Structure 1
Amino acid sequence: MNTLPIVAITMGDPASIGPEISVKALKDKKIYEICRPLITGDAGVFEKIITELGLDVKVNSIEKPADAGFAFGTIDVVDLKNVDTSKLEYGKIDAMCGEASFRSVEKAIQLALAGEVDATVTGPINKKSINEAGHHFAGHTEIYAHYTNTKKYAMLLVEDHINVIHVSTHVSLRQACDLVKKDRILEVIELLRNGLTSLGKTNLKIGVAGLNPHAGDSGLFGTEDDQEILPAVEEARSRGYDVEGPVPPDTMFAKAATGAYGGVVAMYHDQGHIPFKLAGFKWNAEKQQMESVKGVNITLGLPIIRTSVDHGTAFEIAGKGIASPDAMVLAIESAVQLANNKKMSNQ
């Protein structure tokens, strides 16, 4: 047990499904067979959700990872004591919840930088709540980059054959087009190549999406594909990478879904997220809710390991006991794999 990696899981927004999916994930005994998990957040929030949903598990409030028991059936929580559960309302934007979720992330980062945990996994946060609490970040990725002083980073989404990294994420579509530049694309290709290796992937062929319809069609529909994307692909090839592009995204993702690429580069947020979620999210039309939500978000380029569920707060079902922990389980498993591979590479 003492040789297993310690994984810090952030609470997520207390008003969201974050606490629920964390508890449900840690009710899976196989998690304790691959790692030593703990949660950063407010212990009272977890006691509340466990009581309300009748979940058969206990909470162990601790001050630091060294105090954790890591016993299956008891969830260790590095207790930040910053939520008034009498005022907690599920499904509501709230500065108190934004502050609590932000401090949970901050604590996990501090523990990882100090070497007290081997990897971090983040639950869903609400960006509006965090900003109302005075923390002006676009999302988890930007928080991690800020507190680790990381300049070159990118978001990688992993789900079966669809492993997609983004040139830009949380910016307007108009700004995203302006960010399609050779140097950034080349940087992201390199991050993807290193990320695939860290995940133990054997297929290292990379597809790079075009920006414009038909990848610009030789300049008929825009110049970015020929003037920025193609030169980046050619430079990557000169460095020995197996890269194809720019490929029209409607073709590229169809090929990626069959395993044609080990990973693909998307030019902006929705270009990558839509096919990724189409593959991993299963909607139940009869029940009008998500039946299964799979997929992992990994931030590449950081000095510490960060994986995450790739879904939102799901305020509409928070506290109802119907949230799926699938993505959280996958995120924890990915964090463990990255931690183990990192340990092996350092030996």
Structure 2
Amino acid sequence: MQQPDYKHLLESMDSALIELNDRLEFIYLNPAAEMLLATSNNQLNGRTVEDYCGKKCELQQLARQTLSSGQTITRRELSITMAGDRELTVNLTITALSGERGILLEIHPIGRLYSIAQETVRQEEYAATRLLLRGLAHEIKNPLGGIRGAAQLLEGEFEDQELKSYTEIIINETDRLKRLIDRMIGPRHIPQEHLINIHEISERVVQLIEAEASQGVRVVRDYDPSIPEIRGDSDQLIQAVLNIARNALEAIMEADEEGEIRFVTRIMRNYTIGGQQKDLVVRLTISDTGPGIPRNLQNQVFFPLISSKISGSGLGLSVSQAIVTSHGGIIKFESTRGATSFDILLPL
């Protein structure tokens, strides 16, 4: 009888499986655990639970309890704080491994199903909004073209320079409104896709942000060099990332505080985008330590003309969302005071 392939079984499971030794050092993470912890097996190998989530981490306390007693611990709908102060609701089982000094953690995040449903609803709302905007743009741009043409004809009829200045105002303002409408509906051409390295995209944006940043703003990189190339339009993706990073920079500088902007890349496995599960997804996270997005605006940040900044146009995130959506991806975010992060998720 053929021996079962236990490694394949472990790596196919949806539950996160983590093996720790008697010093609570990470020994093994299956792909679901790597996705949950937002890091790789290699990066955590040899590090302790305390290194990952701090001394007061509840995972560490429960793991020590199982290690000392040898008894299995099960917790349902447990709220735990992960690295980066991420709050997760999970079902957790910790089992002592027989015959060896170590334990096995099985973690099943129950909040993910709710999150998938919410993402699907938001994508449907966003698609409906963009369709409405495109229809409105067409209805508005047609009369704008007529107004501009009439102003040009009038300009040719006037000899008085003062009267010509009025027609120039009409022409300039109709042009400005047309540009605003074009920005609201986002990129109009299909992405010119080719193989690109996500870190080249990130580095282009980092260079621009570092050039614009004040002395008190620090830019940090945390890249996973094993990420393969993806297919995409590099110019569009640079614009999408730049809009998010520039928002982060402006938020810190407007608050007149020292701060940090962090660029992180990771691979996500078995991730659901738009109701479809993807085997591999690239995640680029842009996080900052600024004042955060007001709670009353958080459900609207991807809609045009919504901004918490005094000088903001409210178009940057809308354009970023349009670009990432056209690449088959999504943008997610979390925001509290001192910790805002945007995840750009693109399928491989």
Q: TM-score, normalised by structure 1?
A: 0.23
- The structure with more radius of gyration: 2
Q: TM-score, normalised by structure 2?
A: 0.23
Higher strand share: 2
